Amino acid sequence: MPGHRAHGFTAFGALLSPSYTPPGTDIDLWGIVTRYFHDYITVAVFAGVGILLVGVALGLSAMLRPKNPSVTKRQTYECGIDPVGTGFSQTHVRYYIFALLFLIFDVEAVFIFPWAIQLESLGAFALVEMVIFLVILLAGLVYAIRKGVLRWES
């Protein structure tokens, strides 16, 4: 039939019009979409204002700062001491081991806090699982102590 539309599905533009409502309902789809994106628009506006403020601050500081380059100002600064030698220095492996041990026990804490909050609802099985987890970590700590990894002095 010429001129017949099957409830707005033949004309895509009808779906985007502000006055479109699906047949047999009182729902305003344009209002729902607008309300849905309202929070996203707010976040986008705040992000844009933040980026604009940073750009303005950097631009103003570049325009207002004094520009007097010299050899002394371009020299590497090391806590008030004149730089000596090359920039390469070897770091002892014990610093990395300390960092890894800290990371392991920090991650352990991340697992224990949610478990402790939900302990009553999780039951005895979760208690046994956490005990096994802690025993494995304790075994690793004992191994590190016996190897002398945690001794700071050489």
Out of 41, 68, 89, pick the residue that ends a domain: 89
Closest to 108 in 3D by CA, of 127, 86, 135, 74: 135
Distance, CA of 91 to chain centre: 29
- The reply to whether 79 and 97 lie within a common domain is no
Q: How many domains does the chain have?
A: 2
2 is a domain residue = no
pLDDT at position 12: 45
Domain end (from 89, 109, 137): 89
Could you tell me the residue range of the domain that residue 139 belongs to? 93-146
Q: How do the pLDDT tens digits run along the chain, 154 residues long? A: 444 444 444 444 444 455 555 565 555 555 666 777 777 888 999 999 999 999 999 999 999 998 888 887 777 766 666 667 676 777 777 788 888 888 888 888 888 888 888 888 888 888 899 899 899 989 988 988 898 877 777 5
pLDDT in the model for residue 1: 47
- From the number of C-beta atoms within 10 Å of its C-beta (0-12, 13-18, 19+), residue 110 rates as exposed
Clarify whether residues 102 and 28 are in a common domain.
Answer: no
Do 130 and 64 sit in the same domain of this protein?
Answer: no
State whether 80 and 115 are in the same domain: no
Q: Say how far apart CA 14 and CA 21 lie, in whole Å.
A: 9
Residues 21 and 72 occupy one common structural domain: yes
User: Are 130 and 112 contacting, i.e. CB atoms less than 8 angstroms apart?
Assistant: yes
Would residue 12 count as lying in a domain?
Answer: yes
Check the CA dihedral 113-116-122-126 and report its sign: positive
Co-location of 119 and 68 in the same domain: no
Q: Tell which residue, 5, 40, 32, 38, has the closest CA to residue 16.
A: 32
Residue 122 within a domain: yes
Cβ neighbors of 108 (< 8 A, separation 6 or more) are: 133, 134, 137
- Residue 126 C-beta-side C-alpha neighbours within 13 Å: 12
